[in-house]
Amino acid sequence: MKRLSPRRADWLITALLAFGTVVWLLAVEGRQGIGRDEAQYMRAGERYWGWFSELGDNLAHGRPGRSLTPSDIDRYWSDNAPDHPVVMKALYGISWRAFHSCSCMGATHGYHPVPIPARHTTLPLFSRDSTAFRFPAILFAALLVGLVYRFARGWLPRAPSAVAAVLTLAQPHFFFHAQIACFDAPIVTMAFAVGFGYWKSLRSPRWGIATGGLFGVALGVKHNAWLIPFFLVAHYLWMRRGDLRARRLTPIPLVFVAMLVLGPLLFFAHWPWLWVAPAARTRAYVLRHLEHEHYNFEYLGYNFNQPPTTAAMKWLRATAPFVETGLTVPVTTLALAAIGAGVLARRRRGAPVDPESEQAEAPTAERPSWLRPGADVDRAPGAFVLFQTLGPMAVLAVPSTPIFGGVKHFLAAMPYLAVMAGIGLAAIGRALREVLTDVRVRWRPAAVMPAALALLVCLPALVETRRSHPDGLGHYNLLAGGFAGGASLGMNRQFWGYSVLPMLPDLDRRVPENRRLYWHDTLSDAISMYKRDGRLSLEVGDTGFGEEGIKRSEIGILFYEKHWTKYEAWFWQYYGTTRPIAVRAREGVPMVTLYERGAR
339 binds another protein (CB under 8 A): yes
Q: Round to whole Å and give the CA distance between 211 and 188.
A: 15
As measured in angstroms, the least distance from the Cβ of 281 to another protein is 29
Among 282, 305, 369, 537, binds another protein (CB under 8 A): 305
Among 26, 233, 261, 331, binds another protein (CB under 8 A): 331
Closest CA to 498 of 42, 76, 95: 42
Bin 115: left if φ > 0, else alpha if -120 < ψ < 50, else beta. beta
As measured in angstroms, the least distance from the Cβ of 592 to another protein is 9
328 binds another protein (CB under 8 A): no
364 binds another protein (CB under 8 A): no
Please, are residues 101 and 122 in contact by the beta-carbon 8 Å criterion? yes
Among 457, 503, 507, 536, binds another protein (CB under 8 A): 457
Helix%, strand%, coil% for the chain, nearest 5: 65, 5, 30
Q: Considering beta carbons, is residue 235 or 475 the nearer one to another protein?
A: 475
Binding segment for another protein (CB under 8 A), chosen from 28-36, 248-256, 376-384, 450-458, is 450-458
Among 241, 467, 535, 551, binds another protein (CB under 8 A): 467
Q: Round to whole Å and give the CA distance between 238 and 6.
A: 33
Binding segment for another protein (CB under 8 A), chosen from 80-88, 206-214, 369-377, 481-489, is 481-489
Q: Considering beta carbons, is residue 260 or 583 the nearer one to another protein?
A: 583
Among 69, 364, 400, 573, binds another protein (CB under 8 A): 573
- What is the enclosing helix (H) or strand (E) of 453? helix 449-468
Q: Considering beta carbons, is residue 92 or 559 the nearer one to another protein?
A: 559
Q: Considering beta carbons, is residue 284 or 331 the nearer one to another protein?
A: 331
17 binds another protein (CB under 8 A): no
482 binds another protein (CB under 8 A): yes
Q: Considering beta carbons, is residue 94 or 500 the nearer one to another protein?
A: 500
Please, are residues 90 and 45 in contact by the beta-carbon 8 Å criterion? yes
Among 404, 440, 587, 597, binds another protein (CB under 8 A): 587
315 binds another protein (CB under 8 A): no
Q: Is 422 helix (H, G, I), strand (E, B) or coil?
A: helix
As measured in angstroms, the least distance from the Cβ of 486 to another protein is 10
CA distances in angstroms from 504 to 106, 400, 501, 534, listed in the order given: 21, 38, 5, 11
Among 105, 280, 463, 511, binds another protein (CB under 8 A): 463
323 binds another protein (CB under 8 A): no
Number of DSSP helices (H) and strands (E) in the chain, helices first: 25, 6
Q: Round to whole Å and give the CA distance between 104 and 92.
A: 17
589 binds another protein (CB under 8 A): yes
Contacts of 50 (CB under 8 A, 6+ apart): 76, 113, 114
Please, are residues 562 and 303 in contact by the beta-carbon 8 Å criterion? yes
Q: Which amino acid is residue 413, in one-letter code? A: A
Among 98, 233, 318, 583, binds another protein (CB under 8 A): 583
Among 50, 186, 330, 368, binds another protein (CB under 8 A): 330
464 binds another protein (CB under 8 A): yes
As measured in angstroms, the least distance from the Cβ of 346 to another protein is 9
Please, are residues 539 and 554 in contact by the beta-carbon 8 Å criterion? no
Strands 297-299 and 302-304: antiparallel
Q: Considering beta carbons, is residue 535 or 562 the nearer one to another protein?
A: 562
The CA-based dihedral angle spanning residues 491, 496, 499, 504, taken in that order and rounded to the nearest 10 degrees: 160
227 binds another protein (CB under 8 A): no
Q: Round to whole Å and give the CA distance between 526 and 96.
A: 15
Long-range Cβ contacts of 265-270 (<8 Å, 24+ apart): 265/216, 266/213, 266/216, 266/217, 266/219, 266/220, 267/85, 267/216, 267/219, 267/220, 270/85, 270/86, 270/87, 270/216, 270/217, 270/220
Q: Round to whole Å and give the CA distance between 112 and 90.
A: 16
Please, are residues 321 and 397 in contact by the beta-carbon 8 Å criterion? yes
Contacts of another protein in 385-424 (CB under 8 A): 424
As measured in angstroms, the least distance from the Cβ of 16 to another protein is 23
Please tell me the count of residues contacting another protein according to CB under 8 A.
61
As measured in angstroms, the least distance from the Cβ of 191 to another protein is 28
600 binds another protein (CB under 8 A): yes
Q: Considering beta carbons, is residue 362 or 431 the nearer one to another protein?
A: 431
HEC assignment per residue over 483-548: HHHHHHCCCCCCCCCCCCHHHHHHHHHCCCHHHHEECCCCCHHHHHHHHHCCCCCCCCCCCCCHHH
Strands 517-518 and 555-559: parallel
Q: Considering beta carbons, is residue 112 or 467 the nearer one to another protein?
A: 467
348 binds another protein (CB under 8 A): no
57 binds another protein (CB under 8 A): no
555 binds another protein (CB under 8 A): no
Q: Round to whole Å and give the CA distance between 365 and 143.
A: 33
Binding positions for another protein, rule: CB under 8 A: 294, 296, 303, 305-306, 309-310, 313, 330-332, 335-336, 339, 355, 424, 427-432, 434-435, 453, 456-457, 459-460, 463-464, 467, 477-478, 482, 484, 487-488, 560, 562-563, 565-566, 568-569, 572-573, 577-583, 585, 587-590, 593, 600
